[in-house]
Each structure stands twice: as C-alpha cells, then as structure tokens.
Chains A and B, each alone.
Chain A
Amino acid sequence: MKTVVLLSDARNPVSGRAQLSRLEAQAIGLAAELDESPQGLHVGPGEEGVSAGLGHGLCGLDVIEAPEGEDPLPALAAFLATSLKSDEPPALVLCGRRGEGGLDTGLVPYLLAEALGLPILADAVALRPGEASDTLVVDQAMAKGARRRVTIRLPAIVTVHPLAPPPLPFAFGRMRRGEIRRHAADVSEVPVDVDAGERPHRARPKLMRTAGTASGGANLHVGPDPEEAARLILAYLEDNGIRRYGQG
C-alpha cells in the first residue's frame, strides 16, 4: 500500500533548530508497517530537519521548494493531486496534527482533504489493511484512553495521535542512503481556499462533564439524515455553550 507521510516544518523547542516532529516520526513508523518503501513529502525552503525522516524509516523524500513562511497547502495539494492521477497513486496520506514552531494552524490535513476531495480520519494509533481491497482499518485514539476501530475506504488522509507506537530509532546510515527529490513549486492546478480567517480568542467552557467516550445513551442517533445530524450537532453545541448562535 503506497503511503506518503507529510512532514511539517518543526522546530526543536530548546535550540530552535529545524527538526523532524516526533508525531511525524511516529507516522513514519505506522507507514513502514503498511508500505515497504514509505515516502515523505515536505514543502519548505530545504530538507534540513525533515531529512531525519529518512533515518526513521522513510525510503524517499520529495521536497517542494518554497520560500520560508510560504503557505505549503497549494504546493502540497498540487503535488498530491498529480500523484493521485499517476499510474501508482498513493493509497494513504499520513500526517501529524499540526506543525511545531511554524505556522501551526492544525488545519492543513483538513484543508488538504477538502482540496483533494479525500476522506480524512483523525488520531490514528494503529493501522492495518482491511479485508476488502482498498480499505484500511484504523484504531482511533479517543479521550480517556478509549479506542475506536474504524474501517475506511482508500485513498484517504489519516492524522496520527501521539499515543501511536514510538518512532523507529534513528539510523544515520539509513538517512544517508535515502533518496531526496527536489521539485520546484507548481501551484497552478488546484486552487485552495486558505483563508481560515482570524477571530479574537474567546474562553470556552470546559467539557469535563459532558465529554465522554461512551457512545450511546440519549444522544445516540444511528444513521440520521445529514440535515438532521447537522441540526442535532449544532443544537448540542449551543446547549452546552460551546457555540453561540451567530458568533462562531
């Protein structure tokens, strides 16, 4: 199963040097179980930092060169859209939850899924191929240590949870042998709406009481109509003071 791991621009919290995010190293570990030669994908000024992914188990790394601080999304979307149309399209795109030290919106996986029209599943701790072809069984981490097993149809984007198994140990020799392919950014193909907008911070109530992992009870709705489901969710959020109507 061809797997691509997205590598973000992470910074070491102590030295501020570019490094591989631990979560993405864990994603590489998950990818290595599915794919003999998992590939990495990074958009940024160079491979400093992310090349460590090769030492943690990636076999190759595509680096799309973009100036520092540039939004990586259009380049990512364009590159993945091209490779999805190729003869050997990636079946799975793995990513972390957010960058570490760069522009960390945490939105990249979602915006990317939207741009590519792929399903997205968050917080995977274990992956294995499903029984049917082109499916993937994902163990999803939920609050309070609960796990949920979900089967999804591929291709898909999956984000990795920090409770996934620790990364494969770093080996300098593997990093040295890994192939790095540099590309110029080509953003013309897929237009992406990257204006996530900015709002002033507003304190939200804590969800300790209401948030539970137990699915079921009065709030369980099996197979509702999408319109109905959206209405129920919005009603729930408003009941709990999480969303106030019209204020976002």
Chain B
Amino acid sequence: MTAAAFLPWLIVAMIIVAAIQIGRRVMLWRQGRPAAVDWIAGLKALPRRYLVDVHHVVDRDRSASRMHVPTAGGLVLASGLLVLGLIPALAASHLYWALVALSFMVMTAGVVLETQRRYPRALPRLSLGRWQRLPVYLGVFAVCGLLTTVLAALGNPLPVLSLLLFFPTAAAGLALAATTATGPMRHALAGATHLVAHPRPQRFDPEAAKGEATGLRPLDLDAEKLGTETPADFAWNRLLAFDACVQCGRCEAACPAFAAGQPLSPKHLIADLAAASGGGHARAYAGQPYPNERATGGAAGAHTAIVSPEGLVHPDTLWSCTTCRACVEECPMMIEHVDAIVDLRRFQTLERGAVPMKAEEPLAHYRGCDEPNGRPLFERTDFAAGLSLPRIVEKGEAEVLLWLGQAAYDLRGQRTLKALIQTLNAAGVDFAVLGGQERDCGDLARRLGDEATFQRLARANVETLSRYRFGRILTADPHALHVIRNEYPAFGGAYKVVHHTAFLAELVESGRLAPASLAGRTITYHDPCYLGRYNGEVEAPRALLDALGLERREMARSGKRSMCCGGGGGAPSADVPGDTRIPDIRMGQVKETGAKTVAVACPQCTAMLEGVTGERPEVKDVAELLWEAIEAGRRKPAGAAAARELEPA
C-alpha cells in the first residue's frame, strides 16, 4: 500500500468536510425569504455564465485570470481524477498517476502566480488574513500532492518520503475544505450556485437591453415589513450572493465614495452582510476598513437589525452610496451591491423615517408638491420664455415628447435645455412638452428608499402620459431616462425613451442638422452612470462629438467603467462628509487628459463638475456643443474657412 493510494480517500474526506461546512451555510441561506428561481434555465446557462460573463470580468485583471484558471482547473481536475482512483485497476496504472501529477503541476503553476499577487506585499485592494493564507494551503496541497503522485507514477521508489509528503497534503487539503463555511473557499460553491440562482438573470442575456437588468424592482407596499432590516429579510439568493464574494476588492477600487474618504467600501459591506446572518465575522475582517470608519456596536444575527449604531453597518455607510453601479460592473462574482443598499435604505426610510437630515427636505417636498426642489410644476417651462416650446396639451400629439426634468428649475440646467430646444427647432422636429403636467420622475425618492412616493409619482406620470399620443420620449436627464424606460413598465407605462445625445446623433447622421466643425478644441467625455453603466449607451455621445470635429481624449476610466460624478443616488442630499469630494477626484481625471473642455450629458454631472472650484476645464453639455456648432455654421457661408476664435481687440 503506497501513500498515494490514500489520496483518493483524502479527497473523499475533503468532500465530506466541505459538504458539512457548506450545509451549515445553506442553513443560513434558508433563513432568507423565498425567491422565484428558474433552476433548469439557470443550470443550463451556468457554463456560459461562468466561462463567458464571469471570465470577461475576471480577465480585465489579467493576473487574476491567469492565476485562477490553472489553480481552480488543476484543483478540480486533480480531485476528480483522484476520486476515480478508488477504482483499483486505475490505481495500479502509472499513466494514471502521471495524469494526476500533471494536474497537480498545473495547479502548482497557478498557485505560484497567485502568490506573486500577494507576496511579498499584496495589492492594496486585496484582503489579508485568511485570504492571505489561502495560497499557502493551496501551495502545500498542490506541491506535496504533486510530489506524492510523481513518486507513485515512478513506481513508489521512496515509500517513506511518499508517506511523509502525504501528511502535509492531507492537512492542507482538510484545512481548505474546512474554510468552505465561513472562509475563502466558500466562494466556489456559493459562486456557482449564485450564477445559477442569480436574482437578475437578464444581465447574462446578451440579447436583452442593458437597462432591463439594472432597473430596481417595485416593492410591495402592502407587505408586512417594508424593505430589509435583518439578514432574514433578504431573499435567500441575495444571502447566497454575499457568500460568493472573493474579497478581490475591485469594487472598492472603483467606488467613488471610498475614493473620497466616505465611510463606504462595497467589499467591506458585502463581507459584513455575509457575516451578519451567521452572527458576525468568524474572523476579523482583514481588508481595508471603511474610510473614516464610524464605530458600531457589532451586534449581528439573522434577526438582528443590520443598519444601526448597534448593528454591523453604520447608517452613514448606507447613505454614502451614489448608486453608480461601478461596484456591480466590476464584480467578477456578479454580486448586486446596489440592490442590497437600496433594500436596506427602503427599510430605513419607510419604516423608521431615518433618512439623513438634509434628505428629509426633498422627500417632504415630494410629498407636498411632487418636486424635490419645492417649486410649482407650472414654473417648469418659465425658463423657455421667448423660445418656441409647444405644449402637448395644445397639440394633442407629437412625434417626440420632451421630458424636461429637474434641470428646468436650475439655471445651469436651463442653459442645456435651451440649447436642446433651439436645436430641435432648427432641425424642425415635431416635439412638445407636458408643461405643468410633468411631475418629477421620482428617481431621487426611489434611490433614497422612499418607494411609496416613487410609486405614487410613477402612477401619476403614467396616467398623464397615457392621455397623449407621441412616438418617443426625449430627455436630457439620464436619471429620468432610466426610470421612465426601465422602471415605469412595472407601473403600466412602456415607452420608447431616447437620450438627447442619441437623438441628436441621429439628427446629425440623417443630415437634418448641419453643424460646422469645432475642430481645434480638445475635449473629453464624462459618461453619466445612468446612461453608460445603467443603459449601456456610450457610443452615441462619442459619435456626436466626433461629428463635430472635436479632438476627443478618453479618460482612464470611461465608458461603462467610468467614474461617478458623485451626484447620483441622493448622495448630494445625504451629504455624508468625507476627506475630499467625488467631483474633485473626477475633475482631476479630466485634467489628466489635458482637454480644455469636458463634455457631459446629464444635469447632475453638470452641477457636480461645475461645483469644482479653482481653475478647471470648461463643463459643457453635448447639446450645448452641438448648438454652438450649428450657430457657427450659420454665421459663415458654406465652404468658407473655419471661423477663428474671437480675440479681444
């Protein structure tokens, strides 16, 4: 009997230990609320979700994918082959042991690559502690397993050495199996199950529009408890999702609130939520702490409030989030951080009224007069005095319904809207506005957790819109776009909604507008989260800017991986203090490109970026740039030399 002959039994023992440990975790998931899961479709889609969707995200960090493929592949292959070794005929074959040795060798190569990421010093976003020790266990298991099986393949020339090597293999293997309850290895099964039972299966559908997988779900306002207070209030597959976290910290590196020193780290939050149902962290959390961490009591349990000064998560952590979804976009385990945050916010707002002090005012205005700024609805079109702005109530129908949004009340936003309206008139578009019948879309209320107000506004707006006939809704506000396009269908209103950048790009492409070239200016484009990440629209605004002949420079973070301006999710209303401001960080990234102008496409981004003090690039909406080009085209006859900038005499 050789030492290698024990290896199959070791794998069986590891599987039993892991099964017991996972069983303990499954018991915790079962405390969550039921969720409708299409298991068959999920299982069918699993290989594709893992090999395409997950790999696509993991592969953004090449060192991670290069490390993970051989490590996990080698481990699974070696374990699988070793279980087959229970068949005596196979166990007698030298070729078989050579194959097992080969898979251990692949795994060893992976562990070497993993070690390079962590030793001598780990990447700052990675967690230490048990995660830092994981490659040690994996390494001992792989190397000792390799040597044992190599000796077996050679006919077991050194039985004593072989036996001596078996013991560390067994110790490391059992240690790995033991961490499947609360430690690092639980990500394997939880991650795979999460891919099968994912709460948002649409996000894996390459055919579906991106917005379908990003809109928030309506809350049943007649439910016993509104929102999520304790871990048991989460759906079970949400609890499962928290366990899938590998603490790679990509979310943390992308989080604007974390960068600004506000007390939020998506990784820490997910780790806290995963720990909450089991009664707290089994071992101390070993990642970077929440910046400017607020002290909490640390009480945890399946039926203990998560967000409270006594609980595991401080309210400031919850209210720091801008709902920009950068964490969700970066997460290789497909965790939906923003959904969890909104669920927790809903409980705070609806059941406890515990919104940040400054956020109470817009919510009260919403209840009183349907506008977060407390302005009368009929004043919405006041800014357009002197412009031709038809109302749909007079026309009855229009090709395009222009949704003005909150920008109409803001002096800066009005400049953008004026440029847009003038452009529409110049192109002869048949458009109209709702005027005094347009209520706020309810985005701010919903992100602040006030689902009751949101649903009331959504129903009222859908009712108003149903009275008129129009082809499409056009808006310059990506927040309104997202809410009306993706969140109103749940309230009976399905509309074609188009963002002004896409609409204007269409007009330019079809030749209905003839903008002059603005060549000679450098520009960079800041993607609004609710347009780029939420709705996947990153090309139209760029096409439009390119059509204007502008020299476009891209920031390091752009497109779907763009950084938030800090204006979403009610974060400016919550106003949780940090070390710096998010728009200052973003403006720093704009400056790095050397562009003299930053093009924006969202009134929130405009306001946040214009709020940056000191010398900085000019902030211009895409619509303003286009109108500038159209006016430049009118001033000079066709074919004349490009207009020069006016110089002071």
Provide the A133-176 mask, 1 if CB < 8 A to any CB of B, else 0.
00000000000000000000000000000000000111111101
Q: Which residues does chain A contribute within 8 Å of B453, judged by CB atoms?
A: 172
Q: Which residues does chain A contribute within 8 Å of B226, judged by CB atoms?
A: 172-173
Tell whether B286 is near chain A: CB-to-CB under 8 Å: no
Q: Which residues does chain B contribute within 8 Å of A176, judged by CB atoms?
A: 221
| CB-contact partner of A14 in B225, B376, B450, under 8 A | B376
Instruction: Please judge, given known A-B contacts A170-B363, A170-B364, whether A17 and B369 are in contact too, CB under 8 Å.
Output: yes
Q: Which residues does chain A contribute within 8 Å of B452, judged by CB atoms?
A: 172
Tell whether A82 is near chain B: CB-to-CB under 8 Å: no
Provide the A3-32 mask, 1 if CB < 8 A to any CB of B, else 0.
000000000101101010000000000000
Provide the B493-526 mask, 1 if CB < 8 A to any CB of A, else 0.
0000000000000000000000000000000000
Cβ contact within 8 Å between B374 and A14: yes
Q: Which residues does chain B contribute within 8 Å of A14, judged by CB atoms?
A: 368-369, 371, 374-376
A171 to B226, CA, bound (A): 11
A175 to B129, CA, bound (A): 47
| CB-contact partner of B351 in A15, A168, A174, under 8 A | A174
Cβ contact within 8 Å between A169 and B353: yes
Q: Which residues does chain B contribute within 8 Å of A172, judged by CB atoms?
A: 221, 226, 349-351, 450-453
Q: Which residues does chain B contribute within 8 Å of A44, judged by CB atoms?
A: none
Cβ contact within 8 Å between B375 and A169: no
Tell whether B360 is near chain A: CB-to-CB under 8 Å: yes
Cβ contact within 8 Å between A173 and B351: yes
Instruction: Please judge, given known A-B contacts A14-B375, A14-B376, A15-B376, whether A171 and B350 are in contact too, CB under 8 Å.
Output: yes
Cβ contact within 8 Å between B368 and A169: no
Provide the B566-609 mask, 1 if CB < 8 A to any CB of A, else 0.
00000000000000000000000000000000000000000000
A62 to B369, CA, bound (A): 26
Total number of B residues with any Cβ neighbor in A under 8 Å = 26
A52 to B374, CA, bound (A): 18
Closest chain B CB from A75 CB (angstroms) = 27
Tell whether A74 is near chain B: CB-to-CB under 8 Å: no
Q: Which residues does chain A contribute within 8 Å of B352, judged by CB atoms?
A: 169, 171, 173
Q: Which residues does chain A contribute within 8 Å of B225, judged by CB atoms?
A: 173
Closest chain B CB from A48 CB (angstroms) = 12
Tell whether A55 is near chain B: CB-to-CB under 8 Å: yes
Cβ contact within 8 Å between B353 and A174: yes
Tell whether B367 is near chain A: CB-to-CB under 8 Å: yes
Tell whether B487 is near chain A: CB-to-CB under 8 Å: no
What is the total of A-B residue contacts with beta carbons within 8 Å? 52
Cβ contact within 8 Å between A19 and B351: no
| CB-contact partner of B353 in A12, A17, A19, A171, under 8 A | A171
A10 to B376, CA, bound (A): 17
Q: Please provide the chain B residues from 216 to 236 with a CB less than 8 Å away from any CB of chain A in the complex.
A: 221, 225-226
Closest chain A CB from B96 CB (angstroms) = 64
A154 to B597, CA, bound (A): 69
A19 to B370, CA, bound (A): 12
Tell whether B355 is near chain A: CB-to-CB under 8 Å: yes
Total number of A residues with any Cβ neighbor in B under 8 Å = 15
Q: Which residues does chain B contribute within 8 Å of A174, judged by CB atoms?
A: 351, 353
Q: Which residues does chain A contribute within 8 Å of B363, judged by CB atoms?
A: 170
Cβ contact within 8 Å between B367 and A52: yes
Cβ contact within 8 Å between B369 and A55: no
Closest chain A CB from B276 CB (angstroms) = 21
Cβ contact within 8 Å between A168 and B353: yes
A17 to B355, CA, bound (A): 24
A18 to B371, CA, bound (A): 16
Closest chain B CB from A12 CB (angstroms) = 4
Tell whether B354 is near chain A: CB-to-CB under 8 Å: yes
Q: Which residues does chain B contribute within 8 Å of A15, judged by CB atoms?
A: 368-370, 376-377
A12 to B354, CA, bound (A): 23
Closest chain B CB from A43 CB (angstroms) = 22
Cβ contact within 8 Å between A169 and B355: yes
Q: Which residues does chain A contribute within 8 Å of B374, judged by CB atoms?
A: 14
Closest chain B CB from A22 CB (angstroms) = 9
Closest chain A CB from B464 CB (angstroms) = 15
Query: Chain A CB within 10 Å — which of B368, B371, B452 has the most?
Result: B368
A153 to B368, CA, bound (A): 38
A173 to B367, CA, bound (A): 15
A101 to B357, CA, bound (A): 27
A232 to B354, CA, bound (A): 52
Provide the A173-192 mask, 1 if CB < 8 A to any CB of B, else 0.
11010000000000000000
Q: Which residues does chain B contribute within 8 Å of A171, judged by CB atoms?
A: 349-353
A199 to B226, CA, bound (A): 53
Output the nearest chain A residue to B376 by Cβ-Cβ distance. Answer: A14
Provide the B452-468 mask, 1 if CB < 8 A to any CB of A, else 0.
11000000000000000
Cβ contact within 8 Å between A19 and B367: yes
Closest chain A CB from B222 CB (angstroms) = 8
Q: Which residues does chain A contribute within 8 Å of B349, judged by CB atoms?
A: 171-172
| CB-contact partner of B354 in A17, A52, A55, A169, under 8 A | A169
A200 to B487, CA, bound (A): 56
Q: Which residues does chain B contribute within 8 Å of A169, judged by CB atoms?
A: 352-355, 360
A176 to B451, CA, bound (A): 13
Q: Which residues does chain A contribute within 8 Å of B368, judged by CB atoms?
A: 12, 14-15, 17, 19
Closest chain A CB from B352 CB (angstroms) = 6
A17 to B370, CA, bound (A): 10
Output the nearest chain A residue to B370 by Cβ-Cβ distance. Answer: A15
Q: Please provide the chain B residues from 356 to 389 with a CB less than 8 Å away from any CB of chain A in the complex.
A: 360, 363-364, 367-371, 374-377
Output the nearest chain A residue to B377 by Cβ-Cβ distance. Answer: A15
Provide the B143-163 mask, 1 if CB < 8 A to any CB of A, else 0.
000000000000000000000
Q: Which residues does chain A contribute within 8 Å of B370, judged by CB atoms?
A: 15
Cβ contact within 8 Å between A170 and B369: no
A205 to B375, CA, bound (A): 35
- With A14-B369, A17-B368, A17-B369 given, name 6 new contacts (CB 8 A): A15-B377, A169-B354, A169-B360, A171-B350, A171-B351, A174-B353
Closest 3 A/B residue pairs (Cβ): A169-B353, A171-B353, A15-B369
Chain B residues within 8 Å of A, Cβ to Cβ:
221, 225-226, 349-355, 360, 363-364, 367-371, 374-377, 450-453
Chain A residues within 8 Å of B, Cβ to Cβ:
12, 14-15, 17, 19, 52, 55, 168-174, 176
Q: Could you list 9 examples of A-B contacts with CB < 8 Å?
A: A12-B368, A14-B371, A14-B374, A15-B377, A169-B354, A170-B364, A172-B351, A172-B450, A173-B226
